[in-house]
Amino acid sequence: MRLPWRRAARTTPKVKHADRFTFQDLVAEATADIGSRPARLVMTILGTVLGIASLVATIGFAQTAAAQIASQFDGAAATQVVVTAAEARSGSQNKTVAAGRLPWDSPERVRLLAGVESATLMGEVELADGETITAVPVNDPSAAPVASPRLFSASPELLDTAQGSVVTGRFFDDGHDVRGDRVAVLGQRLAEQMGINRVDSQPSVFIAGVAYAVIGIVDGMDRKAELLDSVIIPTGAARADFGLGAPSELDIRIMVGAGPQVAKQAVIALQPDAPDSLKAQAPSASSDLSQSVQADVNVVFLILGVIALLAGGLGIANVTLLGVMERIGEIGLRRALGATRRQIGAQFMVESIVIGFIGGLIGSALGVIAVIVVAAVQGWTPVTDPLVAVAGAVLGAVVGWGSGWYPARRAARIEPVAALRGA
């Protein structure tokens, strides 16, 4: 028995059609409308430009200012080591006394160390009660009492170590120091208070009734600003007339970076048998001051930059949303021709990202240019990280993405029938 012939069913494999709307088409659709309204585009990206420029310029200004402050700090405080006697507790009353003593030839000893450029001994001379420093030899009991200026003794290397300058006259030398000559040098501010502006007339100041000839007036003294309001006499005269027992400190001017080494070797050179009796203060390797200033500047300008950036994001969102409302008919037509919600939403999202990226790119460039211009005007060295400029452009795209999320979502939810009816 023959079975009836059955025609075998032909099975046709299902072919999955690829989406013909490629990424290139998406970018072309998203960017086609951007340049159609130049004025609106400029106003849209202006907020992003200002925000990104503020952020990039903030970081650049902070880095440049920190570098400038660090260089000035290195030029003054970071090139100085101060050696003083260490403090110790002594007696039943637990009083603080000096554990060590600086030798009188301390400058000659430390000058042999590597990294030392100059050194000077200093000591504040304490006058007895009732003794003052005046510019007139007669004490007028009816005159109003005036605070007496401070009196310092120093070795002849003070001017070089403190980087001061002579306004008029001269500074005392080794001969004055060895002989104990009664000569004095006045700080600029003190000389103005005393009415002494020249030394060719051989003016004198009277220290506890003892006449000292003023041979010079000094200014500058970046490392010892208090000397501008003080009287400075040779160490030899302070020992002879006021019984100065020991100098209070040794100031050393060093090369940049030699602080830790000089501080360690100086106490050994001065007191080889008891280096712990002296204390050396050296600058640290890194400047905490520059970091603190950079942090303060960052906080102020970052707040302003974030505010401007938020304003720019709102501007992109408003314009993108306005574009959605104006193009409802176009959206409905594209939906009717087969465009999916995802494609519609992606179109407006890419448009916002491109606008944000353009604003970030322009803002980063303006921020870097602002740092360079300000640094050139001030005579500074501009310091900026190239990654900051790149991050600024990326941040602009991120702002555009965040700003375009809601308008893109709203565009994707528009139904074709409603869109065509409304159009």
pLDDT tens figures, 89-117: 655 555 555 667 899 999 999 999 999 99
Q: Is the CB of residue 303 less than 8 Å from the CB of residue 313? A: no
Q: Per-residue pLDDT averaged across 301-315, rounded?
A: 70
Give residue 31's pLDDT: 66
Q: pLDDT digits over 35-88, tens only?
A: 666 776 777 777 778 778 877 887 787 778 777 766 665 555 568 899 998 876
Question: Which position has the higher pLDDT, 175 or 306?
Answer: 175
Q: Which helix (H) or strand (E) holds 219?
A: strand 210-219
Q: Is the CB of residue 147 less than 8 Å from the CB of residue 178? A: no
Give residue 307's pLDDT: 75
> DSSP readout, 63-110?
HHHHHHHHHHHHHTGGGEEEEEEPEEEETTTTEEEES----TTHHHHH
Residue 381 three-state SS: coil
- Tell me the one-letter amino acid at 183: V
Query: Does the pLDDT of residue 165 top 80, yes or no?
Result: yes
Give residue 255's pLDDT: 86
Nearest alpha carbon to residue 356 among 401, 310, 389? 401
Give residue 3's pLDDT: 47
Give residue 186's pLDDT: 96
Q: 356 falls in which pLDDT band (50, 70, 90)?
A: confident
Query: Does the pLDDT of residue 169 top 60, yes or no?
Result: yes
Query: Does the pLDDT of residue 300 top 80, yes or no?
Result: no
Q: Per-residue pLDDT averaged across 159-179, rounded?
A: 93
Give residue 5's pLDDT: 46
Is 229 buried (19+), middle (13-18) or exposed (0-12) by CB count in 10 A?
middle
Query: Does the pLDDT of residue 167 top 60, yes or no?
Result: yes
Q: Per-residue pLDDT averaged across 165-194, rounded?
A: 94
Q: pLDDT digits over 388-414, tens only?
A: 888 888 988 888 888 778 877 877 787
* Report for 50-54, 332-336, 344-348, 390-394: range of highest mean pLDDT: 390-394
Euclidean distance between CA atoms 206 and 140, whole angstroms: 14
> Lowest mean pLDDT: which of 46-60, 117-131, 144-158, 280-294?
280-294
Give residue 21's pLDDT: 59
Nearest alpha carbon to residue 115 among 213, 260, 324, 220? 260
CA–CA–CA angle 217, 219, 221 (5° rounding)? 130
Torsion angle of C-alpha atoms 209, 211, 216, 222, degrees rounded to 10: -30
Mean pLDDT of the chain: 80
Instruction: Compute φ and ψ for 105, nearest 5 degrees.
Output: -95, 30
Q: 297 falls in which pLDDT band (50, 70, 90)?
A: low
Query: Tell me, what DSSP letter sits at residue 344?
Result: H
Q: 15 falls in which pLDDT band (50, 70, 90)?
A: very low
Tokens representing 88 are 């110790």
Give residue 284's pLDDT: 57
**CA distance to 126, 175, 181, 240, 245, per residue, from 178 (Å):** 21, 5, 8, 11, 16
Question: Which position has the higher pLDDT, 390 or 317?
Answer: 390
Give residue 350's pLDDT: 84
Euclidean distance between CA atoms 334 and 320, whole angstroms: 18
The pLDDT > 70 percentage for the chain reads 74
Question: Which position has the higher pLDDT, 2 or 30?
Answer: 30
**Boundaries of every domain in the chain:** 23-72+289-422, 101-273
Nearest alpha carbon to residue 157 among 250, 226, 270? 250
Q: Per-residue pLDDT averaged across 229-258, rounded?
A: 91
Query: Does the pLDDT of residue 207 top 50, yes or no?
Result: yes
Residue 209 three-state SS: coil
Q: Per-residue pLDDT averaged across 321-345, rounded?
A: 75
Question: Which position has the higher pLDDT, 193 or 46?
Answer: 193
CA 412 to chain centre: 49
Q: Per-residue pLDDT averaged across 6-33, rounded?
A: 57
The pLDDT > 90 percentage for the chain reads 31
Query: Does the pLDDT of residue 227 top 80, yes or no?
Result: yes
CA–CA–CA angle 144, 146, 151 (5° rounding)? 160
Q: 234 falls in which pLDDT band (50, 70, 90)?
A: very high
Query: Does the pLDDT of residue 34 top 90, yes or no?
Result: no
